Structures are given as C-alpha cells and as structure tokens.
Amino acid sequence: MEPTTVSLMPASKQDAVRKALLVTFQTTEADDIILLAGGLSSALVYKIAVNGRSYVMRIVMQPTAFQDPARQFECMNLAAAAGIAPRVYYTDAADALSITDFIESKPIAGQFSDEELAIRYAQIVKSIHGLPIFPALTDYLDGVDMLIANYKSFGLLPESATAEFLDRYAEIARVYPRHQPDLVASHNDLHPNNILFDGDKIWVIDWEAAFRNDRYVDLAIRGRLYSDNVALEETYLRAYFGDDLDDYKRARYFLMQQVSHVFYGMVFMWLIALARTPETVIDTCMDAPRLKEIHARIGAGEVAIGSIDGQLQYAKALLGEALYGMKTSRFTESIALMG
C-alpha cells in the first residue's frame, strides 16, 4: 500500500497534522510534503502542497519555556497582521503546529545598493519594534549570564581558554542597562536564513525566539553586516533612529553587538555539550577565523554547522569576534558612556 503524505511525518504528530489540514483546507492529506532544512531548534519545518499551492507547516517537537508555541504564535500572528511575516492560516499551541504561506526566496544580492539595503533592514527592524508589545520571557543579559554559567559547568574548554573573554564581557554586564521599562516587540534572531526576499518584498520568518526585549538586540544582530563598515553602520543606525541618533545609542548598539556574539557562541557551546559523547574530542585551541570568514565557509559547504566540529568552529569564531570588539578603543569608550 502506498504511504500517504502524512504518514511520512512523525507518528506522534500525524493526528495533529490531519486536523490542521482538515480545518485549513478541508482535506486530511497534502499533495506533497517536503522536509526543509531547518535550524537548530527542535522544530520540523515542511513545505506542503495543497490544491497546487505551497505552504509551510512548522511543528515544534519539544516545546520548552524558550520554544513556547503559544508565545511564538502570538508574536507571529501580530507580525503577519502587519505584513512583516507571511500570512498565517492555522495555529494550534497545544499541538505546537502552524501553517503559513510559503515564500519562494530569491537572492537579494545586487537588487539594491548597499546603502539602500542598510536602510531597508533598519526599516524592517523598526517595523517589528512598532508592533504591539510581545509577551515577556527574560532579560536578555540575564539569559546570557545563564548560558555562561551553563558553559562553565560543561567543562568543554579549560578556564584559561576563555578567561580574557569572560573578564571583558563582565565589564559589559556591569554597566549595560538591565530590566528597563522601555522594551519592544523583538524577533531576537534576525540572521539571514530568517529574512526572505520574494523578488519584491522582504519577509521575516521563524518567530520562535520572539519576545519582549531590548530594541538593541535586533539592531545588533542584523547590524553585524556593517561591523567593518563605519559608513554603512551609520546609514543603518540613522535609518532606524533618525535625528535621535547620538553617541550613547551608538555605544549601546556596539556593546549589544558583542553581547549577541556571546549569546550565539554560548548557544553553540550548549548544543555541543548536549551532542557530545565520551568519544568526542574537543579541540581546545581558540584560534579561529573572523566571523565573516566562517560565514563564507559555511555558505561554501566547507564547515558543516550541523556537526560538532562545525559548531565548535562557529562558537570559537563568535567568541573571538566578541573578544576582537572588546579589545578596541571603541569598547572602552562605549563602556565609559554607559557609566
């Protein structure tokens, strides 16, 4: 007997999938189901075809406080209503399942000048921050502190390997504003895979990490593109802040860039700790290429981000990028402005 499309999905989710299809499309089967290359969360992301049209079905397999479908769907629906995220057809927090439009992504390179693209990205970030406030989760730096504490407990690397990096990060943790009342709706994971261009419009997907947060988190993550280009960074920040841009905001943005490097670096250390076995050999040398180079290697298929070795290379590059920034005169000046 030929397997149905739904039977190719996890057995524990097949009833939920059929219910979602029935409610949304009045059928219990899709014409086609393709598992897409996903991120690093527990979510399974499928491209499904129904009646000749493509959609995205996303299933969170292991919901947690961080990967909370109810919060994710609330944020995603607000973004979709504003035309920032693709249209949402179905969500069920209990089943941890959603159906949205499928965006046929096209290369954005060459479509706009560097300056135009910096302005567009700033406008996207600003539009997200203008949404109705998202549910709360945690203070971002409190979350980073927790990840660092977990990293120390893992014993992946000798203390000496990250001592300088942790000492300098402590300077940020000491002066950066926390638990502030001026928080915004924040995506918190605006890396390139979550920003799609359909040939006309830019869309933002994957709202799993979204919650009420410091506006500088989204700004810093998307602004990594301009960390080595002072002019484009200024264009980007001025497009977001307008005439309100000042040295304090530039300093806070710069410090949050280093925090975001630390956050992602520690997330990858956590993933390595979960995946390692007694036979896993961890290279304790912290020499690593700059972040742009490691991104190029990942794009070229030279570094497999799904492997422990690839994740370790990426984590080292992220932490190295933070340390690089924290050893500059701009870091010292930014710390002083926060004080």
Asked if the model's pLDDT at residue 5 lies above 90, the reply is: no
pLDDT of residue 22: 97
Position 1 scores a pLDDT of: 37
- Find the mean pLDDT for residues 304-322: 92
Domain containing residue 34: CATH number: 3.30.200.20
94, 119: one domain: no
Listed range (36-45, 82-91, 317-326, 328-337) with the worst mean pLDDT: 36-45
Percent residues over pLDDT 90 in the chain: 80
124/261 same-domain check: yes
Which residues does 49 contact at the CB level (< 8 Å), separation at least 6?
A: 30, 31, 32, 33, 55
pLDDT at 4: 67
Q: What is the pTM of this model?
A: 0.93
- What confidence tens digit (pLDDT) does each residue in 221-259 have? 999 989 889 999 999 999 999 999 999 999 999 999 999
* Domain end position, chosen among 101, 126, 152: 101
Tell me the CA distances in angstroms from 94 to 59, 60, 65, 87, 98, one per residue in order.
11, 10, 14, 20, 11
Determine the average pLDDT of the residues in 115-123: 97
Tell whether 87 and 212 lie within a shared domain: no
Q: What is the pLDDT of residue 2?
A: 47
SS3 253: helix
Q: What is the pLDDT of residue 66?
A: 84
268-300 pLDDT, tens digit each: 999 999 999 989 989 998 888 888 898 889 888
Q: Of 72, 101, 130, which closes a domain?
A: 101
Give domain status of residue 153, yes or no. yes
User: DSSP letter at 228?
Assistant: T
- 226 and 272 in one domain? yes
108 part of a folded domain: no
Looking at the structure, do residues 32 and 123 belong to the same domain, yes or no? no
Is residue 29 in some structural domain?
yes
Q: Is the domain of 70 the same as that of 122? A: no
Q: Which among 109, 93, 108, 122 has a CA at the least distance from the CA of 233?
A: 122
- Assess whether 64 and 192 both reside in one domain: no
Same domain as 219, residue 75: no
Tell me if 201 is assigned to some domain: yes
- 190 lies in a domain? yes
Model pLDDT, residue 298: 85
Instruction: Over range 305-319, report the average pLDDT.
Output: 92
In a domain, 236, yes or no: yes
- The mean pLDDT value for 113-135 works out to 97
Domain boundary among 101, 135, 152: 101
* Residues 307, 193 share a domain: yes
Q: Is residue 39 over pLDDT 70? A: no
- The beta-strand segments (E) located in 72-122 are 88-92, 97-101
Q: What is the CATH number of the domain that holds 299?
A: 3.90.1200.10
Residues 123 and 90 placed together within one structural domain of the fold: no
According to the model, what pLDDT value does residue 46 have? 95
107 found inside a domain: no
| Same domain for 239 and 193 | yes
pLDDT, residue 40, reads 65
What total of structural domains would you count in the chain? 2
* For the chain, percent of residues with pLDDT exceeding 70: 97
Domain span holding position 16: 6-101
| Mean pLDDT, the chain, whole residue set | 93
Name which of 23-27, 50-54, 105-109, 247-251 the model is least confident about: 105-109
Residue 142 belongs to a domain:
yes
The DSSP call for residue 209 is: T
Burial class from Cβ neighbours inside 10 Å (0-12, 13-18, 19+) for residue 322 reads buried
pLDDT band at 179 (very low <50, low <70, confident <90, very high): confident
CA atoms of 117 and 56, how far apart (whole Å): 26
In a shared domain, residues 285 and 185: yes
